[in-house]
Amino acid sequence: MIDLHTHSLFSDGVLIPSELARRAEHAGLKAVGITDHGDSSNIDFVVPRIVGVAIDLNRFMSIKVIPGIELTHVPPPMIAECARRARSLGARIIIVHGETIAEPVAPGTNRAAIDAGVNILAHPGLITMEEVLMAKEKGILLEISARKGHSLTNGHVAKLAAEAGAKLVINTDTHDPSDLINRDQALKVVRGAGLTEEDFNLMQQNASVFL
């Protein structure tokens, strides 16, 4: 199991990166992305620290820790520049907090994230087919989320992605230890979105490019 979307106490998670990685390792995960929430106010602070701890942990742990950022509630015109800044600081995964129906995300966020060529569009809500086709063209992964609230539109995202041939990924959006899930639990989330075990395996292949 690979989970590319988690949060430490560098944003609104409750665990330091080392404990987050250890708990993920104990749950049987092969790799975990630490992708704390960021905008122009804290990218310079968060990304170098996640990069540094990932380098340290990867020397001694069996799990692979991948440093990243989740650009969150960033005004759409600022997303591309924030993504460039995060990459320049060493972020390997650029996620954008998509237009989930559970939060008042600014309209146009999904489109701006796709235009910016980020790696993952998280919980993209009622994403349009036009946006799904654009994501497919750019190789951007659309997220099936295990997180309460964000998961409400998983079926919609899965349906459009299947029709368009866009790539998907399953993530937890972990903030608390109880949010971490194993392979069997993740497979249930995928099946709940109307997908199959084969789709789950493809999602894991899509995630493996970050290893």
Q: Which of 119, 203, 95 is nearest to 154 (CA)?
A: 203
- Whether residue 131 contacts residue 116, with contact meaning beta carbons closer than 8 Å, is answered with no
Q: Cβ atoms within 10 A of the Cβ of 49, count?
A: 15
Share of the chain above pLDDT 70, in %: 100
> Taking Cα atoms as reference points, which of 77, 79, 115, 78 lies closest to residue 96?
79
pLDDT at residue number 125? 98
Mean pLDDT calculated for residue range 187-208: 98
pLDDT of residue 13: 97
Q: Check residue 110 and give its pLDDT.
A: 98
Measure the CA angle with vertex 26, ends 54 and 15; round to 5°: 55
With contact defined as beta carbons under 8 Å apart, do 193 and 143 qualify?
A: no
Give yes or no for a contact between 87 and 71, defined as CB atoms under 8 angstroms apart.
no
Q: Could you tell me which CATH number the domain at 2-208 has? A: 3.20.20.140
Q: Which two tokens stand for residue 208?
A: 């493996």
User: What residue ranges do the domains of the chain occupy?
Assistant: 2-208
pLDDT of residue 157: 98
State how beta strands 2-6 and 31-38 pair.
parallel
In percent, the amount of the chain with pLDDT more than 90 equals: 100
How much is the pTM?
0.98
Q: What local confidence, expressed as pLDDT, does residue 140 receive?
A: 98
Q: Answer whether 36's CB lies under 8 Å from 13's CB.
A: yes
What pLDDT score does 5 carry? 98
pLDDT value for 99:
98
Mapping DSSP onto H, E and C, the string for 7-42 reads: CCCCCCCCCCHHHHHHHHHHCCCCEEEEEEEECCCC
Mean pLDDT for all residues in the chain: 98
Question: What is the per-residue pLDDT across 81-137, written as a single tens digit (0 to 9) for each?
Answer: 999 999 999 999 999 999 999 999 999 999 999 999 999 999 999 999 999 999 999
The per-residue pLDDT for range 36-91, each reduced to its tens digit, is 999 999 999 999 999 999 999 999 999 999 999 999 999 999 999 999 999 999 99
